[in-house]
Amino acid sequence: MGKVKQPISIVGVPMDLGADRRGVDMGPSAIRYALVQEKLASLGYEVEDLGNLQVPTLESYHEGQQQLKYLREICAVSEDLARTLDKIVERERFPLVLGGDHSIAIGTIAGVARHHQRMGLIWFDAHGDLNTEYTTPSGNIHGMPLAVGLGFGHSDLINIGGYTPKIHAQNIVIIGARQLDEGERKLIREQQIRVFTMHDIDRLGMAKVMDEALQIVTDGTDGVHLSLDLDGLDPKDAPGVGTPVAGGITYRESHLALEMLSEANVLTSAEFVEVNPILDDANRTAKVAVALIGSVFGEKVL
């Protein structure tokens, strides 16, 4: 008999305040339209969809200071998301968050990390998302959530959920990085964060990368969060993202990574972000997200 499958709660966060290119607020709808709930149900999970959090409409607000655009609004949504996930985990359900831009990870991590003595984190992304208001080239907060989780950044951001830091550098891995800002490189060096660039994936192969990644995120931890930005994949496979970077992880490599993560049986929460249907081709990227979610939750060919 197989193990009892933890029930799943889906939350959509139609956030586009953290990004420059519009349309990513439609990401949760696009992923639902690609039949995410049906996919999970077909794998034997009991699934509830809690709908979308309320996110302010960009046109209704002034962006505020250039280095931290829409800070107040993003903080409010992050607090709401943290509370929502806190309740899901208390009900012993698995939180699956659909974005929205990657700034939502500030609230996601705040909500789930409080339930762990020490949480591991897999950051699947073309970017480091390790900027602060002092290093950001754009002022877009979707380039800051990993730094915020580590306790670096504006006090309003790092104290979401009432505690900081949420995560520790020695239990984080970034997979798929191929575009890092100078300030991010500096923080990576200082904090000794393990980054698997595309160069590493090409040289080592994804299986070796995931073996090492899993060792890092499970060393002394009592849970692992997956934060997967669809721009980690090559734009040929996932064109509908706001900040595409050529030369990314292939569709098949992504599935292998997530199949290995599923087999390790350590994942306690997950989010899939930066699906932008306006930039997409017939909802391809959302369909890829749903296929990857299938792999995370144990779907196999045979």
Does 102 carry a binding-site annotation? yes
Of the candidates 79, 229, 234, 271, the residue annotated as catalytic is 229
Identify whether 237 is a catalytic site residue. Answer: no
Of the candidates 116, 127, 225, 255, the residue annotated as catalytic is 127
Identify whether 142 is a catalytic site residue. Answer: yes
Identify whether 125 is a catalytic site residue. Answer: yes
Closest by Cα among 230, 302, 202, 219 to 264:
219
Of the candidates 102, 154, 225, 255, the residue annotated as catalytic is 102
Q: Which residues contact 2 (CB under 8 A, 6 or more apart)?
A: none
Identify whether 200 is a catalytic site residue. Answer: no
Question: In angstroms, rounded to a whole number, what is the distance separating the alpha carbons of residues 142 and 123?
Answer: 13
Q: Which residues contact 129 (CB under 8 A, 6 or more apart)?
A: 102, 105, 123, 142, 143, 144, 145, 146, 147, 184, 229
Question: In angstroms, rounded to a whole number, what is the distance separating the alpha carbons of residues 287 and 208?
Answer: 27
For tokens 């990993």, name the residue. 146
Does 200 carry a binding-site annotation? no
Closest by Cα among 282, 274, 298 to 124:
274
Of the candidates 142, 154, 225, 255, the residue annotated as catalytic is 142
Does 125 carry a binding-site annotation? yes
Of the candidates 16, 25, 101, 125, the residue annotated as catalytic is 125
Identify whether 229 is a catalytic site residue. Answer: yes
Identify whether 115 is a catalytic site residue. Answer: no
Question: In sequence order, what E strands does the chain have?
Answer: 8-13, 47-52, 94-99, 120-124, 172-177, 194-197, 224-229, 267-273
Does 231 carry a binding-site annotation? yes
Of the candidates 16, 274, 280, 299, the residue annotated as catalytic is 274
Binding residues: 102, 125, 127, 129, 229, 231
Binding residues for Mn(2+): 102, 125, 127, 129, 229, 231
- Catalytic positions, please? 102, 125, 127, 129, 142, 229, 231, 274
